């Protein structure tokens, strides 16, 4: 079931919301059971078979968490550590089997020139998210930091439907206390209004902005996949289109998750904070998929040694963390390269900052900030090519065209409009043989691209719009936009909310999945 589907908006959400607060009037525990059961139903709507997998994962990790918490009072020793290793390894083996079996089997078949064949294993939705969530719980139980072990609340913490499929990656210490709080079970109309507004902003981002620009990105990457020679215009247009499709798709999902949870009186952590405004790659990762970055930092980078063992080891730890983060995103070598690129970006960024501090170089001021932003943005766009491409060949074809390897060819209509004389007769639209039907020869496509780019780079983000109402758990307000863009409960914003929702729900296109569902 998708957040942007009619059955979710018109049936599931109202029934679950009304049932939760109605049951909460008589029993908070029953209301929590209702919400957990509704979350399991939400998950099972996709494939009921994997409900058993989710239930087994919850039961195993809850039991192991209790054992590890009891053992945490004993002196440190090998048995305690081995128990943690066993529990974490069980989770990673489960994740590895479902997520990476096809990848490693295909890689081995190609490497050894084998003719064997394995049936494709279907990846359970959200397995990366509920696995990472529970690994953090196990580690904290082992450390003695996990304090609450109410089974209903733990089940709800893991299965909670706003985050279950595509994040954010939750932490038990920020969620389970909220499920135990009496105020969560009292109907609050401000929470309903604020949550609904955030949800509507998110669904508008997904359905109107992300899905609106998606066909342009898909056409170019499909052409690259089929070996067609792209022009510089088409290659950069397709890369930028995907850059902003992914931005608004993931930003929209993050908003919808936060908005849905707020309606139930529960605050989720912020997961997205205008990452394309970042002026360096470190700042980008403080803004993009913030809860995953937090998990990788706290449970992988620091576990590898962090910055405690010297500069070179720090850089290696950064690189390894990002490579594994890339592999987390997808079972493919293109994702490994994407993670490796970001690892290299971070290493260069840290080395540059060290050089500036060591030589006491002057900051570049406003011009330096603009150049830093441009370099960061281009580096991110280049890496997204590997993230989106179906193969190395397709990615390299895209990058070669973006570098001008196939020439710089402007559409004839553009030249004629500017009263330029064609340099040579028979100019193409940017694809050898005219295979791609001029996606980026149409100026209106570039207008669409410029519009979404302007919104992403200059408009206030959702949390800035909702700043009056503390929209997320760890919200720290950056400079907001003009007063007209700041949400206030009242008739004006009610009209805006209704119009945005109508624009999203009345689109005639087929309902599309969120891009992060595949991870």
Active-site residue, 329 included = yes
The SS3 assignment for 149 reads coil
Q: What is the C-alpha separation between 29 and 23, in angstroms, rounded? A: 9
Backbone angles phi, psi at 195, to 5 degrees: -60, -40
Q: What is the C-alpha separation between 12 and 391, in angstroms, rounded? A: 38
* Nearest alpha carbon to residue 381 among 232, 250, 239: 239
- Give just the sign of the alpha carbon dihedral 332, 336, 339, 345: negative
The SS3 assignment for 232 reads helix
Backbone angles phi, psi at 230, to 5 degrees: -90, 150
| Peptide linkage before 168 cis (omega within 30 of 0) | yes
The SS3 assignment for 272 reads strand
Give the helix/strand (H/E) hosting 295.
helix 290-296
Q: Which of 171, 329, 342, 350 is catalytic?
A: 329
Within a 10 A sphere around the Cβ of 496, how many other Cβ atoms? 14
Total residues found in the chain within this entry: 519
- Long-range contact list for 108-111, CB < 8 A, 24+ apart? none
Q: What is the Cβ-side half-sphere exposure of residue 237, based on CA atoms within 13 angstroms?
A: 29
Whether residue 470 contacts residue 491, with contact meaning beta carbons closer than 8 Å, is answered with no
Q: What is the DSSP string of 22-57?
A: HHHTT-HHHHHHHHHHHHHHHHHTT-GGGHHHHHHH
Q: What is the C-alpha separation between 91 and 93, in angstroms, rounded? A: 5
| Peptide linkage before 197 cis (omega within 30 of 0) | no
Whether residue 126 contacts residue 45, with contact meaning beta carbons closer than 8 Å, is answered with no
> What tokens appear for 90 in the block?
């069980």
Residues labelled catalytic: 329
């Amino acid at each position: 079931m998708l957040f942007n589907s009619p059955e979710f908006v018109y049936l599931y959400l109202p029934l679950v919301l009304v049932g939760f607060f109605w049951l909460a009037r008589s029993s908070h525990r029953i209301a929590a059971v209702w919400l957990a059961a509704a979350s399991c139903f939400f998950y099972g709507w996709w494939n009921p078979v994997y409900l058993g997998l989710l239930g087994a994962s919850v039961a195993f990790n809850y039991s192991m968490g209790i054992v590890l918490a009891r053992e945490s009072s004993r002196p440190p020793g090998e048995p305690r550590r081995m128990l943690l290793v066993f529990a974490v390894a069980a989770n990673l083996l489960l994740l590895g089997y479902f997520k990476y079996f096809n990848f490693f089997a295909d890689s081995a078949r190609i490497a050894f020139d084998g003719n064997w064949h394995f049936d494709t294993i279907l990846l359970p939705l959200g397995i990366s998210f509920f696995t990472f969530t529970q690994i953090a719980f196990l580690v904290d139980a082992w450390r003695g930091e996990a304090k609450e072990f109410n089974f209903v609340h733990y089940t709800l913490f893991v299965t909670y439907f706003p985050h279950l499929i595509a994040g954010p990656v939750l932490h038990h210490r920020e969620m389970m206390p909220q499920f135990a709080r009496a105020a969560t079970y009292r109907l609050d109309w401000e929470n309903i209004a604020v949550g609904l507004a955030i949800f509507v902003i998110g669904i508008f981002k997904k359905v109107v902005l992300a899905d609106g620009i998606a066909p342009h990105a898909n056409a170019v990457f499909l052409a690259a996949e089929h070996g067609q020679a792209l022009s510089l215009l088409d290659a950069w247009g397709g890369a930028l289109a995907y850059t902003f499709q992914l931005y608004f798709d993931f930003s929209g999902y993050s908003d919808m998750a936060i908005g849905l949870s707020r309606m139930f009186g529960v605050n989720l952590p912020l997961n997205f904070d205008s990452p394309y405004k970042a002026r360096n790659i470190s700042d980008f990762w403080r803004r993009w998929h913030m809860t995953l970055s937090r998990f990788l930092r706290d449970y992988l980078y620091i576990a590898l040694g962090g910055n405690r063992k010297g500069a070179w080891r720090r850089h290696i730890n950064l690189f390894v963390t990002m490579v594994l983060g890339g592999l987390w995103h997808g079972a493919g070598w293109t994702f490994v390269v994407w993670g490796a690129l970001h690892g290299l970006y971070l290493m260069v960024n840290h080395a540059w900052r060290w050089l500036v501090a060591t030589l006491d170089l002057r900051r570049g001021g406003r011009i330096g900030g603009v150049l830093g932003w441009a370099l960061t943005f281009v580096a991110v766009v280049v890496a997204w090519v590997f993230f989106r491409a179906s193969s190395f060949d397709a990615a390299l074809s895209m990058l070669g065209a973006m570098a001008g390897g196939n020439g710089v060819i402007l559409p004839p209509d553009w030249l004629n409009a500017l009263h330029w004389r064609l340099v040579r007769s028979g100019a193409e639209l940017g694809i050898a043989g005219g295979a791609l039907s001029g996606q980026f020869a149409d100026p209106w496509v570039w207008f669409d691209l410029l519009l979404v780019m302007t919104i992403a780079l200059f408009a206030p983000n959702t949390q800035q719009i909702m700043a009056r109402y503390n929209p997320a758990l760890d919200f720290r307000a950056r400079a907001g936009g003009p007063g007209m863009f700041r949400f206030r409960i009242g008739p004006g914003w009610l009209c805006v909310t209704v119009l945005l929702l109508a624009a999203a729900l009345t689109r005639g296109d087929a309902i599309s999945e969120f891009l992060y569902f595949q991870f």
